[in-house]
Structure 1
Amino acid sequence: MSTLFSKIYDPIMRPFEKKRLGNLRERLISHQEGTILEVGSGTGTNFSYYKNAEKVVAIEPNASMRNQSLSKMKRADVPVELVDASGEHLPFDDNTFDAAIGTLVLCTIPNPNRALQEIRRVCIPGVPILFIEHVRVDRPFPGRIQDWLTPFWKRLSDGCHLNRNTLNLIKQNGFQVERIEKYYKDILLVVEAKNGK
């Protein structure tokens, strides 16, 4: 990711965070307990929502994003360990985590299938696996627009795919989807799943 994108990310996202995303993050994250894996922690937006975790291990491969998250990490209510790692290569033992959380991350990971397999590996069987993701809309016209825009958008937004069918990826990689909520005309999904291994 470019340094420029990481610097403008928080200001661009602020209106969405105030309108709805912040509430979704809080509801999904605040009651999670134990040692939590956060995949693609970005600028640390989720850190303030952890209230009951014993510890959060947050991976983020982009140095600029990690640096921006340091102040939020220090203000967090629970211990946060920030790790330089990619989702496709998690440097943790099998069955380490009590939950995993990813918010607006699977759109940018180059190999999301590999990342999802890694999440399964490092999480204990049956634990919560939680996502907030934007996805390709399952309607012809808006879906085609997302397909058309994606090559340009990826260049502007450092690899973000507007047209990934993330819900199918989650299901295909062995997670048991228990609840799905749709927002913004089905573009944004909240997915609550369990580690199905």
Structure 2
Amino acid sequence: MGKWFSKLYDPVMEPLERLKFRYIRETLIHKAKGNVLEIGSGTGLNFPYYTQAVKVTAIEPDPTMRKKSLKRAEHARVPIDVILADAQALPFPEHTFDTVVGTLVLCTIPNPEKALNEIRRVCKPGGHVLFFEHVRAEHSLLGRLQDWMTPVWKRVCNGCHLNRETLETVKKAGFTIVHVEKHNNGILLMIEALNEK
């Protein structure tokens, strides 16, 4: 990831955070309980919203983003360790976590199917999986626009795909969908699932 992206991420995202994302993050993260894994924690925007977790292990593959997140981890209400790791090869034993969280991350991971298989492996049977993701629009014209924009968008925004069908990918990975809440005409999804084995 380019250093410029890491430096600009928070200021560029602030308007979206204020208008919509902060509410979604807070609502979703409040549901994370027990021993929690957060994948792709970025600059730690979720950290203030953990209230029911016993401990959070946050992984982030970019050293600059990880470094920026450490101050937020220090001020969190629960213990948070932030480590350099890749969601496609999680360095944890099977059945380690009660809850796994990912926000605006499956759009960027090169192989989301591999990452979801790793999440299934490290999440306990019956454990909760919580995602906040942007996806390809159901509206055909907007969806085609996302398809058209994605090749350029990926280059500018560190591999982010505007048009992934993330809900279907989560289902195909074997998770049981418990609840989906749509925002912004279905472009933003809050997904709650169970790791039933």
Q: Which TM-score bucket, shorter chain as reference?
A: over 0.9
Normalised to the residue count of structure 2, the TM-score between the two structures is 0.98
Structure 1: runs of 5 or more not aligned:
none
Displacement of 1:151 = 0.5
Structure 1 residues 54-83: Cα deviation after superposition (integer angstroms, max 9, x where no partner): 100000000111011111111111111111
Q: 2:89 aligned with 1:85, yes or no?
A: no
Q: Tell me the residue number matched to 1:166.
A: 166
**Equivalent-residue separation in structure 1 for 2:20 and 2:42 (angstroms):** 19
Q: Distance in 1 between matches of 2:88 and 2:30?
A: 26
Q: Distance in 1 between matches of 2:27 and 2:141?
A: 32
Aligned pairs for 1:113-124 (under 5 A) are: 113-124=113-124
Identity %: 53
Counterpart position of 2:145 = 145
Structure 1 vs Structure 2 CA RMSD:
0.8
Residue 68 (structure 1) aligns with: 68
Report the counterpart of residue 9 of structure 1 in structure 2.
9
Query: When the two structures are aligned, how many residues end up with a matched partner?
Result: 197
C-alpha distance in 2, partners of 1:32/1:38? Answer: 10
Q: Classify 1:31/1:113 alpha carbon distance in 2 versus 1 (closer, same or farther; 3 Å).
A: closer
TM superposition shift of 1:120: 0.4
Question: 1:80-110 deviations in whole A, cap 9, x for unaligned?
Answer: 1111111100000000001000000000000
Q: What's the counterpart of residue 45 of structure 1?
A: 45
TM-score of the superposed pair, with normalisation by structure 1: 0.98
Unaligned runs of 5+ in 2: none
Tell me which amino acid in the other structure corresponds to 2:118.
E
Runs of 4+ off more than 6 Å: none
d(CA) in 2 for partners of 1:119 and 1:13? 26
